[in-house]
Amino acid sequence: MNKIKILIILPVFILSGFLIYHFRFSPGTDSFFTHFFYIPIILTAFWWQYRVIPVILLIMILLISADYISGKSFLIYSDLIRTFIFFTVGITISYLRNMQTGQIHLKIYRDILYSIQEAVVIIDKSFNIILTNDSFKRVFNSNGDSISNIHLLLKNDLKMKEFQENALRSFCGESVFMGVYIHQDGGDGNYFLVSFYPLKSESGINNLILSFRDISEQKRSDMLQKKASERQKISIEVLELINRKSDSGLIDDILTLIRGKTGIDAVVITLKNGDQYYKFASKSLFDNLTNSSGGSVSESGRGGAEKAFISGFDESFCGVIAGDSIFWTNNLAEHCAGSIDRYADSPVLKNFLSCAVIPLKNGNEITGYFMLMDKRGDFFTEELVVFYQGIVESIEIALNRIVYELNLENIIHEKELLLKEVHHRVKNNMQVIISLISLQASRQSDEKLRDLLNETQNRVRTMALVHEKLYSSDNFTSININAYIKSLVPMLLTSYRVDKSKIRVEIDALDTFFDLNTAIPLAQLVNEVLSNVFKHAFKKGDEGLVKISLSPDAELKNRFILKISDNGMGLPSDAVYPHGGHLGFQLIDALAKQLRGRITFSNGEGVSVEIVFSEN
């Protein structure tokens, strides 16, 4: 388009020069030809606005030069007047055209802006707001007050400085982005990603388009993810501490770790053993009690814990306010007022606002309480209490292990004690692994991945059950396989959510003992076969029968026959043992080889698996 305009204007300029030459160097003094100059002036002002000024100056120079050279200097004064008129006409047209163009552009920008969902604003070089869309008004003018300058949005001096620097870069032609938190009246404010786009025109970059994209959800999600990662790290540190230590100092170390990592003011663990109560408290509990009447610190414990008597804070305090469920409040004194008068004078109520109590359990029995207290009145949230509950579950594992180890010292002697402790530690460590796998599975949204983690749990449980049978009996070198299978089957039925009213399991196993070299691979093999049966043999809602038999081989001594069969759907046509199936087939094959056994699959009315093996 500009090329066409130039092709039109050039001949007009050439003709203007010819007219000046012709009439100024001819005998006459006519000046009517100067009216022709309005054509290039008007065209230039209309097309290029204020760029008409150089054109007018050029015409003026040509006229006055021609007057002087041609000896008609008396015309210079009148030509200066004409030049003034040219300037008036050119600048007036430029101004009107610029206003018209601005109005057209403004209408176009308004139509574009109103179609954009994000908050968008156009500003000038003084940061005055020229145009906004409905989204901007809805987000930032919700109270009805009009915002005339972008400075009114940014009340943070550091962010305002960064904003000005980015705006300057954008006025130089760059597209710039920055994050900013904008506090809004009547609300907490939101995080926005501000995008700066230069708005180019024929006269240069005089305006910027600012886009405000609300990234509050993303920002809060990132913060929650970071917080979850930090909390998971604390849980792992507690588990590491549990695995590393087994003496009574473990509780004090856990209290110190939790307080140091979470920033809470005080942590207390109350344990019940028979009729006796044992209270472990972080040293910070006493540091925060400003009212010491009726209480005195008499002895320091390990790991920063203290032993003392505190008025109105006896062993039943946690049981009274929490019972057998999780309790938390951000106004402890108000909760206890009226209903629990006997604690009214306790310095605990006078010095701590927020309180959470989580029962410690061994099965269904409450063995103690985990109590957290803070001076701040808004410390606890549902999410934070769930996090502490996860830590308590880890502590329960540690406490149960401690209790078990203390009991072992009283009931087992010398070699029996050592063997039982080894098996129990192995089982407990496996239980920790099971808990970690369960924690990981609960965080997964993928059903297939959860199933894989569940299978892994069952494989670990199978080995843990072997060690449980060992340490719960008087025989530490072999296990009763019949009792083992009868314990394994209910565990797998529960794990795979099998309807026990529809799927029956018949067990006819030899009541005999196998040593560990045979028992462990045999237990794993039974687990893999039964897992496949419970997962794939029956449709949901169907009735079925699973038979498990273990008998001695009539032909050869010390040789046994394990048979597991079902009346389910059978194997699919494309399943070929062992490499045509999944990991379960491959594990069954490997375990059968470990037993030096021979395995046979029958696929008729259901599936029948027969393993013939000798005791190692």
- What CATH number is attached to the domain comprising 133? 3.30.450.20
Do 122 and 102 belong to one domain? no
Question: pLDDT grade, residue 214 (50/70/90)?
Answer: confident
- On whether residue 166 sits in a domain, the answer given is yes
Region 519-537: what's the mean pLDDT? 86
Do 544 and 565 belong to one domain? yes
- On whether residue 7 sits in a domain, the answer given is yes
Tokens of 388: 């502490």
- On whether residue 277 sits in a domain, the answer given is yes
Asked which of 351, 378, 405 is the last residue of a domain, the reply is 378
Tokens of 442: 């609960």
Ramachandran sector of residue 513 (left: φ over 0; alpha: ψ -120 to 50; beta: rest)? beta
Question: pLDDT grade, residue 291 (50/70/90)?
Answer: very low
Q: What is the mean pLDDT of the chain?
A: 76
What is d(CA 515, CA 517) in angstroms, rounded to the nearest whole number?
6
pLDDT tens sequence across 160-189: 888 888 889 998 888 898 888 887 665 667
φ and ψ at residue 612, rounded to 5 degrees: -105, 120
Which residues, 6 or more positions from 583, have their beta carbon under 8 angstroms from its beta carbon? none
Do 27 and 140 belong to one domain? no
Asked which of 334, 350, 378 is the last residue of a domain, the reply is 378
Do 204 and 254 belong to one domain? no
In the sheet that holds 129-132, the strands lie side by side as: 129-132, 119-124, 204-214, 190-201, 176-182
Do 80 and 167 belong to one domain? no
Region 142-165: what's the mean pLDDT? 73
SS (H, E, C) 517-573: HHHHHHHHHHHHHHHHHHHHCCCCCCCEEEEEEEEECCCCCCEEEEEEEECCCCCCC
The CATH number of the domain where 360 resides is what?
3.30.450.40
Do 261 and 318 belong to one domain? yes
- On whether residue 432 sits in a domain, the answer given is no
Position 298 pLDDT exceeds 50: no
The CATH number of the domain where 559 resides is what?
3.30.565.10
- On whether residue 67 sits in a domain, the answer given is yes
- On whether residue 95 sits in a domain, the answer given is yes
Query: Is the pTM of the predicted complex or chain greater than 0.75?
Result: no
pLDDT value of position 33: 66
| Alpha-carbon Rg for the chain in angstroms | 44
- On whether residue 391 sits in a domain, the answer given is no
Do 293 and 263 belong to one domain? yes
Do 256 and 305 belong to one domain? yes
pLDDT tens sequence across 472-514: 666 667 788 888 888 888 888 888 888 888 889 999 988 888 8
Do 200 and 133 belong to one domain? yes
φ and ψ at residue 30, rounded to 5 degrees: -65, 145
pLDDT value of position 45: 79
pLDDT tens sequence across 56-73: 888 788 777 877 777 777
Do 53 and 151 belong to one domain? no
Do 489 and 613 belong to one domain? yes
Considering only CA atoms, which of 286, 288, 289, 268 is closest in space to residue 278?
268
* Domain enclosing residue 152, as ranges: 118-214
Cis peptide before 572 (omega within 30 of 0): no
Q: Is 609:525 a contact under the CB 8 Å cutoff?
A: no
pLDDT value of position 112: 67
Amino acid at 553: D
- On whether residue 41 sits in a domain, the answer given is yes
Do 102 and 124 belong to one domain? no
Number of domains in the chain: 4
